[in-house]
Amino acid sequence: MPGQRKLAIVAAYAVLCVVWSSTWLAIKVGLRDLPPISFVAIRFIIAVAVLMAVSIGRVRLLPVRRSDYSLLAFTGLLMFALNYPLLFWGEKYVSSGLAAVLQATIPIFGMLFAHLLLPEEPMRWQRLAGALLALGGVALICGRLLDRSGMLAFWGGLGIVLGAAGAAYSNVLLKRRALELAPAMIAAWQMFFGIIPLIALGFAVDGNPVRFHWGAMAWFCLLYLAVIGSALTFLLLYWLLPRMTVTNLQTISLITPPGAVAFGWFLGGETFSLWSLLGAGFVLAGVWIIFSKIKPPLRAEKLREEPSAALPRA
């Protein structure tokens, strides 16, 4: 029935907003007991297992072409071996709310990389202005981190932004060559290739995971991030793709950072300076400008949009 279908869509959208807003605080809390590299690796080992379990017998599991493996491996390294370790490491020194805001630069970098790699997505002045405004906000946030929290906080914030650039480049590469593979399996293969170096690096840097402090909260954060924050949200996102417009889906990117700030404030006891909040406002305003509808010029192709490139996830 139409009413039930609409209710299901609204419920799935609301779950994505709440979960992606809460994952940042879950990372922050989990880092009290778990080292960042191994935390990332174990999280996505579990997520891959869950995605495989729900995909067997329903969709194709293996890529069609051999060259697809190379693309999945490279983009997986960018997304899961670069972006997420930098994000988790950065959150050791940056509040969960500001980490969410800095990761919201993914669509900004995605726009710049798309301009260089996708001829059908040229730069527009409106989007360039939005990018400059958002990057100004990032500079303000990182400047305040250096001034108030020290060098490690500054490098932590910068690392999160660098990881966001890697994630954006990964998304654009995937968009440039469409894969004949279910989105959930694209994510699973990317996770698989990305966590291989992290497992080895985790053993070398963090030691044997058996010796970590596996308290109840560490287990809760790990399973919440792996099952709810990764596997479930990927499945919900790709269920919503054919049922919602790209524009409506992209609004999640504007809801998640303020949501993360709220979770960090109410549940995590985090505080934010006025200048940091102002910088966050610049970032979100810039992202909103980039997402705003642009009337295409005459004789120009309608721009394609990639929702996954515009949704920063933790």
How high is the pLDDT of residue 246?
64
Give percent of the chain above pLDDT 90: 46
Count the Cβ atoms, other than its own, within 10 Å of residue 126: 14
Contact predicate 19/226, CB 8 Å = no
Q: How far is CA 152 from the centre of its chain?
A: 22
- Number of C-beta neighbours around residue 201 at 10 A: 16
DSSP string, 123-141: --HHHHHHHHHHHHHHHHH
User: Alpha-carbon Rg of the chain, whole angstroms?
Assistant: 19
Q: What's the confidence (pLDDT) of residue 312? A: 65
Residue range 197-248, pLDDT digits in tens: 999 999 999 999 999 999 999 999 999 999 999 999 888 888 887 788 766 7
Token pair of 282 as six digits: 């610049």
Which pTM was predicted?
0.87
The amino acid at residue 137 is G
pLDDT at 1: 63
Segment 164-184, tens digit of pLDDT: 999 999 988 988 887 888 888
Q: 192: which 2 tokens?
A: 């698989």
| The pLDDT value given to residue 291 | 73
Cβ atoms 97, 88 nearer than 8 A: no
What does each C-alpha distance from 185 to 65, 142, 181, 235 come to in angstroms?
Answer: 14, 36, 7, 10
Of 304, 216, 257, 275, residue with least CA distance to 99: 257
| pLDDT for res 144 | 78
Where b means 16+ CB within 10 Å and e means fewer, 19-44 reads: bbbbbbbbbbbbbebbbbbbbbbbbb
Q: Which parts of the chain sit beneath pLDDT 70? A: 1, 246-247, 293-312
| pLDDT for position 21 | 93
Say what the pLDDT of residue 165 is: 94
Q: Give the CA diameter of the chain.
A: 63
